[in-house]
């Protein structure tokens, strides 16, 4: 089998196509969740906590050059090492939401699979031992 035909067979299998669709949709869904967390959830959490902007929470690990604005983007642009724990909190919440949604999806798919599976057939009666079958044949032949 040539390399090209082997690759074509691999690429056109259902599982590969399903995976490709899943990755594309998952990437788009990830962007939606990221936007929801950054633009909707974190501002509300910041307002509840006390008017805190999580996207700009960091700890400087070195002195910033003179005249550098006290924002995370400015510190990074100036090359100052920072621990951006606010960004980490945002990404952790993002992950938790994605993990929860994926859990719900897998749970639903498993429930649909269980409903789609035919019920198990009743257990078959145990096979009659061969000596009993032979005795029954002898009995039946003697009745004739």
**pLDDT for 91-143, tens place per residue?**
888 888 888 888 888 898 888 888 877 777 888 888 889 999 899 999 999 98
pLDDT of 14 above 70: no
CA distance 114 to 102: 18
Predicted confidence (pLDDT) per residue in 71-100, tens digit = 888 888 998 899 888 888 888 888 888 888
CA distance 51 to 134: 90
CATH of domain 3-52+84-143: 1.10.1200
What are the extents of the domains in the chain? Answer: 3-52+84-143
CB distance 54 to 114 below 8 Å: no
pTM strictly above 0.75: no
């Amino acid at each position: 089998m040539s390399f090209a035909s082997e690759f074509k067979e691999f690429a056109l299998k259902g599982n590969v196509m399903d995976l490709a669709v899943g990755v594309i949709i998952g990437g788009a869904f990830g962007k939606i969740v990221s936007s929801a967390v950054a633009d909707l959830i974190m501002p509300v959490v910041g307002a509840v906590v006390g008017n805190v902007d999580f996207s700009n929470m960091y700890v400087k690990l070195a002195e910033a050059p003179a005249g550098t604005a006290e924002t995370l983007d400015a510190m990074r642009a100036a090359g100052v090492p920072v621990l951006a724990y606010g960004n980490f909190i945002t990404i952790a919440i993002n992950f938790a939401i994605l993990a929860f949604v994926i859990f719900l999806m897998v749970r639903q798919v498993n429930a649909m699979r269980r409903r789609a599976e035919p019920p198990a057939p009743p257990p078959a009666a145990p096979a009659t031992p061969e000596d009993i079958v032979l005795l029954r044949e002898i009995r039946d032949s003697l009745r004739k």
